[in-house]
Amino acid sequence: MMQHNNTFTFVVTGGAGFIGSAVVRHLIENTQHRVINIDKLTYAGNLQSLASIEHSERYTFVHADICDAAAMQQVFSQYQPNIVMHLAAESHVDRSINGPGDFIQTNIIGTYTLLEAARAFYQTLDTAAQAVFRFHHISTDEVYGDLEGTNDLFTESTPYAPSSPYSASKASSDHLVRAWQRTYKLPCLVTNCSNNYGPYHYPEKLIPLMILNALAGKPLPVYGNGQQIRDWLYVEDHARALVLVATTGKVGETYNIGGHNEKANLDVVHTLCELLEELAPQKPAGLAYYKDLITFVKDRPGHDLRYAIDASKIEKELGWTPAETFESGLRKTVEWYLARADWWQPLQAANLAAKKG
C-alpha cells in the first residue's frame, strides 16, 4: 500500500482541465501527497496548466481515456491509489446541446468504467487499506435544475431535475456512484459545486471569454437579458474544499460547495468591464468604454435561470469557507489573464485553426 505517514497516493482524473489542474497544483504545492494525473487531453485539457509542478517527483502524468477499461485497471494495479478524485468530464453546456454523444460517453460510460476499475482494485485490498480508500466524485450544481424563487438554495437533498444534456449526463454519473456505494460498498463521496472561475480557465467559458473579447475589442455576447443568476466559486477555493472532502469527508455523504457569490450574468460582465478600465486602460482603437461592447444575443435553449448553493454543511462539518470574495477573486483572475497571454494565445490560435479546418 502506497501510504507513508499519512501521505496518500491520489489518482486525479481530468487533472489537466480547469478544476483538475487546480487540484493537482494544490496537492503538489501544499501537501506531501503523491499525484497520478489521468487525462485524455481533449480540447479542454492543457498540460501547460501544470508547468509549475510537472517536474515534482511526487507527480506522474498518464495520458489515457477513462472509458478505456484496460488502461484504468493498469493505473490502479501500478500505482495502488488511496484516493480517487474523479473530475474528468465534458462540461460545456453549449457543446452538449450541439453534440450530446461525447457527454454520454465520457460522463456516464467513463464514470461507470472508472467505478468498475476502482471496485475490482478495492476488493484486492486488505482491511486496513480498504478503511483508507476513497472514491470522490466531483459533480455540479446543474444536476438540480434551476431555482424558482429568489431565496431558495440548493441543498444536498434537493431533488435532481437536470435540463441540458450536460447536466443530465452528470446527474446520471452521480446516481451510478451512489449505486456502487450502496450495492458494492465502495466508499464514495460526492460533491456538487457552483460555477468556478479563476486562472487557467478555458477561453470559451463566460469570464475568460469576456476578458479576452474585451481586450480584442470584440462584442461581449450576453444570453437573453443577462439576468440568469449563478453562484461563483474561485477555483483555488474549490480545490482546497475538494481535497478536504476527499481526506476528511464522511463516506456516503454529499457536500455542496459554493462561493456565497450570487450574481446575474450581466452584472458579472459589467464588473469585468470596470476592472478592465482600471487594469487595462489602453483600449482597442475607437473604443470609449469596455461596456460599450456588451451585446445581447438569443438565449440558449432550456437555459436555467438561477443556481445558488447552500454550502453550510461543508462549513459546519469540515470547517471550509471560501478565502476569496467575488471581488477579490475576479480581480486576481483579470490580472492573471492580463499577465498570461503565453497560456491563452496558443489556445485561441488552435481554436481558430480548428474552426477553419
| pLDDT digit string, tens, across residues 145-195 | 888 766 788 999 999 999 889 999 999 999 999 999 999 999 999 999 999
Nearest to 211 by CA among 9, 112, 348, 320: 348
Catalytic: which of 144, 166, 255, 290? 166
- Quick one: CA dihedral 125, 87, 67, 55, positive or negative? negative
Catalytic: which of 141, 231, 237, 304? 141
What distance in Å separates the CA atoms of residue 231 and residue 259, rounded to the nearest whole number? 6
- Predicted pLDDT at 4: 52
Residue 354 pLDDT level (bands cut at 50, 70, 90): confident
Say whether 166 is catalytic.
yes
Would you call 24 exposed, middle or buried from its count of C-beta atoms within 10 A (0-12, 13-18, 19+)?
buried
Percentage of the residues of the chain whose pLDDT score is greater than 90: 82
- Predicted pLDDT at 5: 62
| pLDDT digit string, tens, across residues 57-110 | 999 999 999 999 999 999 999 999 999 999 999 877 777 788 889 999 999 999
Say whether 142 is catalytic.
yes
pTM of the full predicted structure?
0.94
Structural domains in the chain plus CATH codes: 9-198+231-260+302-323 (3.40.50.720)
CA 108 to chain CA centroid, Å, is 16
Mean pLDDT of 282-296: 96
Catalytic: which of 39, 65, 90, 142? 142
What distance in Å separates the CA atoms of residue 164 and residue 93, rounded to the nearest whole number? 7
- Predicted pLDDT at 2: 46
What distance in Å separates the CA atoms of residue 32 and residue 294, rounded to the nearest whole number? 45
Say whether 255 is catalytic.
no
The C-alpha cell at 21 is: 489542474
Looking at this protein, which amino acid is placed at residue 91?
S
